[in-house]
Amino acid sequence: MYKPTIGLEIHLQLMTESKIFCSCSTEFAAKPNTHICPVCIGLPGALPVLNEKVIEYGVMLGIALNCTINEVSSFYRKNYFYPDLPKGYQITQYAIPLAKDGFLEIVTENQRKMIRIEKAHIEEDSGKSIHTGDITESEYSFIDFNRSGVPLMEIVTYPDIESPDEAYEFLNLLRSIARYLGVSTGDMEKGALRCDVNISVSKDEVMGTKVEIKNLNSFRSVKRALEYEIKRQTKLIEEGRTVVKETRHFDEKDGTTKAMRTKEELNDYRYFPEPDLPPLIISGDFIEEIGQRIPELPNQKMRRFIEDYSLSIDYARSIAYVPSFSKYFESIIAFTGKPREVANFIMVNISNYLNETGKDIEEVPFGKEEFKELLDLIDSKIISLNIAKNVLDDSIRSGKSPSEIVREKGLSQVTDEDTLRSMIVEVLKENEMQVRQYLAGKTKVIGFLVGAVMKKSGGKANPDLVNKILLKELETLRQ
């Protein structure tokens, strides 16, 4: 069995209002080159001035990733030529990052696993090159410097990840944490989260050759690229060939990875300390103050949902990882209790509604009052759980209250024992074979008979009563 070893290198855009080294706006998708100044387009003589909000966000994320925050860190220049890099160097951190030695605990298929984080540092983004058509054939290119100087946090994990699913879950959790902290949207599609992966496969303790994959534009791409790469590398080794240490490009269209021209890799970045910026010094008090502002994070929430509310891992994760979902969920159960039922309604009915309408959960016109009403109807056995689902669906769409819907559509449960008994007698007559089977000891058919009664009642029969009366009638038949 070949075991993959995977490490991630993630760039998160920090959602400060202004750029990292100047006061230009970070607004996304603005008209090209409208948020620029001498600093972020590298005019001669311009100097960087560090945005304090970036430090705040960086420290916050660092703490959330269980990192040690360096009270003294420094900036370096990473030198390389590219048209969208206006100064000919990127200001980044190198020798001493803002944060180091952290970890995140992920949960996959009931297993907990620690993924260690080597470091997290802050740096500036480059501008954006826009090529007309294919880059190799493009006659000319456009450069948009709006993105130049947008703050980034680069997070580098140790190669602790052992499957594409784990990689996916790590990214999912990281993005969720960033959203809870309000430091990044984490939208991969908008480039607010970018991820490169390193992967090798090996049969034994000897590490395989590391391959880097770039151009991953979604979580799904990360997973697909890793799955493909594991297969490719495994096949090479099995055939007795060698895996080349290289950088490969993921091709979204055919789901494969392709080697990049080696020339692009021969970069010596000539890092050296940025003389325009003094060392970044952060006080212990500041770190502590930021630490106190960190809210309950999604992984902690998820664990609480599982432990305190007995939610399934999937439901707990799905609700806990989306701040708006958990806010909604928690505001409801604080009023109604019954977290399992509420979680069910949210994950099935409300999720469907959101998918259909493209709305956000904040816009759902079904709040704690409505939930309370619905749950009370179930509690007092006026409607069954199944009917309740229909009532909820109806209520969100029509805006009518659950009791109104139950009344108008006559959905109250049939609890009159005589009515139910006559229905049951009919069903028993219609299903003589099943009755015989039951009497012969095959008690499992009771389910079928209950179903038939429910069907006859249009779903309105009270299931508990049906069960009780049915058993009694069958015993009568036995005698």
- Measure the CA dihedral 190/195/196/200, to 10°: -140
What is the per-residue binding string for another protein in 421-450, x denoting contact by CB under 8 A? ------------------------------
CB of 44 to another protein, least distance (A): 4
What is the per-residue binding string for another protein in 209-248, x denoting contact by CB under 8 A? ----------------------------------------
CA 282/CA 293 separation, integer angstroms: 16
CA 259/CA 262 separation, integer angstroms: 8
| Site membership for another protein, residue 41 (CB under 8 A) | yes
User: What residues form DSSP beta bridges with 414?
Assistant: 461
CB of 309 to another protein, least distance (A): 50
Rank residues 103 and 271 by Cβ distance to another protein and give the closer one. 271
Among 8, 16, 35, 48, binds another protein (CB under 8 A): 48
CA 198/CA 230 separation, integer angstroms: 11
CB of 59 to another protein, least distance (A): 19
| Site membership for another protein, residue 317 (CB under 8 A) | no
Max CA separation in the chain (angstroms): 102
Rank residues 86 and 102 by Cβ distance to another protein and give the closer one. 86
CA 448/CA 428 separation, integer angstroms: 11
What is the per-residue binding string for another protein in 110-149, x denoting contact by CB under 8 A? ---------------------------------x------
| Site membership for another protein, residue 201 (CB under 8 A) | no
Computed on alpha carbons and rounded to an integer, the radius of gyration of the chain in Å comes to 30
Sign (positive or negative) of CA dihedral 117, 121, 126, 128: positive
How many chain residues touch another protein (CB under 8 A)? 28
- Stretch of 34-42, 316-324, 335-343, 348-356 lying at the interface with another protein (CB under 8 A): 34-42
114 sits in which H/E element: strand 111-124
110: number of CA atoms within 13 Å, CB side? 1
CB of 2 to another protein, least distance (A): 33
| Site membership for another protein, residue 38 (CB under 8 A) | yes
Q: Please check whether residue 158 is in contact with residue 179, taking contact to mean a CB–CB distance below 8 angstroms.
A: no
| Site membership for another protein, residue 279 (CB under 8 A) | no
How many other CB atoms are found less than 10 A from the CB of residue 105? 14
Rank residues 137 and 239 by Cβ distance to another protein and give the closer one. 137
Rank residues 272 and 448 by Cβ distance to another protein and give the closer one. 272
State which amino acid sits at residue 459.
G
Six token digits for residue 38: 């001498």
Spell out the alpha helix ranges (H) of 88-192: 164-181
Question: Restricting to residues 58-97, which ones interact with another protein according to CB under 8 A?
Answer: 77, 79, 81, 83, 86-89
Please give the residue ranges that form the binding site for another protein (CB under 8 A).
38, 41-50, 77, 79, 81, 83, 86-89, 143, 268, 270-272, 275-278
